[in-house]
Amino acid sequence: MPAMSRPLISRRAEPLTGRAKVPGDKSISHRALMFGALAVGESRIEGLLEGDDVLRTAQAMRALGAEVEKLEDGSWRLWGRGVGGLMEPADLLDLGNSGTGARLMMGLVATHPFTTFFTGDASLRSRPMKRVSEPLSRMGAKFVTREGGRLPAAVVGTTNPVPITYELPVASAQVKSAILLAGLNTPGETTVIEREATRDHTELMLRHFGANVTTTIREDGARVVTVTGFPELTGRTVIVPADPSSAAFPLVAALVVPGSTVTLVGIGMNPLRTGLFQTLREMGADIRTDNPRIEGGEEVADLVVTSSALRGVDVPAERAPSMIDEYPILAVAASFAAGTTRMFGLSELRVKESDRFTATMNGLRACGVEVEAEGDTLIVHGKGAPPPGGATIAVNLDHRIAMSFLVMGMAAAQPVAVDDAEAVDTSFPGFVELMNGLGSAIEGN
């Protein structure tokens, strides 16, 4: 039977107040499970995001032979198999909605001598995988996919992997990570060159587990990331910081709901993930950083956010890799700002969980916001006042579209509804409860 939809409606909120801890970082949670499965001995993970995407990765690592269990104290324990020790799964791996899980895991299995079958939900099956299969094929793996390189797919791992040097044609931390993970079980050095810096959680965590990963900067500014094959990864403890992409929703809500002050605790502040915070500050947002610290090799801080009058800005294309998941909620913030906000270089938004570029633009228009597109530039004309709202948004299984427009409803002139918020649990389980705990008014529609 098809899953039941979960419509929600968001009405104007009283001032948002209080402290909140958003779920653990999704990118780091995926990697902690995968690297723990490749390590020798026991690993512990604290603060793991227990959303559907990450739980699918946990199940996939079990299918590949690792021991993965949740302990009574809420932490997770893994007993890994060592680099090159994964087992052929007895059934296909269903990654649900998770592009990160699917693409990174393709890299993991590409240099193991067995065949792995991948599938996912309708959204994931529509997303392109050629950007991963092309470099992994150069390393010796074979791929059988649907037309356009889409799932379901079979990855036939190679028995004789070949190290490569690969320059990313498009900035993508997922593709970079897939190649580096394939390089772990490959002799010699595997190198990825990126002209635009993307999130570096893979490099940081591989070093944490004991891999030899180097990052250098070429004369032209490109980053050269190299992993040496056949390391002995050793079980480690990973403390997962709160996800800055999830923090974006209560943060923007606090900015646009008048009279709000909200503290968000333990947010990951990796410089390659904080483009949204930088952009909002340029727009006039009052965001204060408290208690900066290092946890598990990652920068972490508390953010104190106070409602602010925002103004339109230009967001340069080179900032996109550091905030690619946050453009829908930034566009919502821009709809409250005074003046025009131009977001350049958003081609990657067209191949996320949905065509987020079009979904964002259509949702804003439905809510009475003046918005236009010029190529891969999204242009929002804010009036310095709450937008009309009053629409029901079709989210097409996209959790970030759903949460973005629920935030809009908290301060728009009329309520905003979404037709199905079921996908929100993939990245932010407990979103409605957390937001209503701060003072929002989200309820079943």
Helix (H) or strand (E) holding 93: strand 93-94
By C-alpha distance, which of 180, 193, 189 is closest to 219? Answer: 193
Residue 142, marked binder:
no
Element (H, E) at 56: helix 52-63
**Residue the block writes with tokens 């799964």:** 89
Q: Is 243 one of the annotated binding-site residues?
A: no
DSSP 8-state symbol, 5: P
Residue 174 among known ligand-binding residues: yes
Buried-exposed string 301-324: b where 16+ CB fall within 10 A, e elsewhere = bbbbbebbebbbbebeeebbbbbb
- Cβ neighbors of 72 (< 8 A, separation 6 or more) are none
Answer for the pair 42, 286: CB distance below 8 angstroms, yes or no: no
Beta strands per DSSP E along 229-367: 237-239, 261-268, 286-295, 298-306, 314-315, 338-343
Q: Which two tokens stand for residue 101?
A: 């899980």
Residue 324, φ and ψ in degrees, nearest 5:
-60, -35
Q: Does 400 show up as a binding residue in the annotation?
A: yes
**Neighbouring residues of 229: CB distance < 8 A, sequence distance ≥ 6:** 163, 183, 184, 185, 186, 187, 188, 189, 190
User: Is 325 annotated to bind ligand?
Assistant: yes
Q: Which residues are catalytic?
A: 325
Tokens of 256: 């646009």
Rounded distance, CA 322 to CA 300, Å?
Answer: 16
Q: Is 70 annotated as a binding residue?
A: no
CA 138 → CA 85, 127, 131, 182, 195, distances in Å?
22, 21, 12, 11, 20
* 356 annotated to a ligand binding site: yes
Q: What's the N-to-C CA distance of the chain in angstroms?
A: 22
Strand order in the sheet with 237-239: 67-70, 76-79, 42-46, 237-239
In order of 92, 162, 167, 438, the CA distances from 111 in angstroms are 18, 9, 20, 47
Residue 99 counted as an annotated binding residue:
yes
- Annotated binding residues: 26-27, 31, 99, 127, 172, 174, 325, 352, 356, 400
- Annotated binding residues for 3-phosphoshikimate: 26-27, 31, 172, 174, 325, 352
- Annotated binding residues for phosphoenolpyruvate: 26, 99, 127, 174, 356, 400
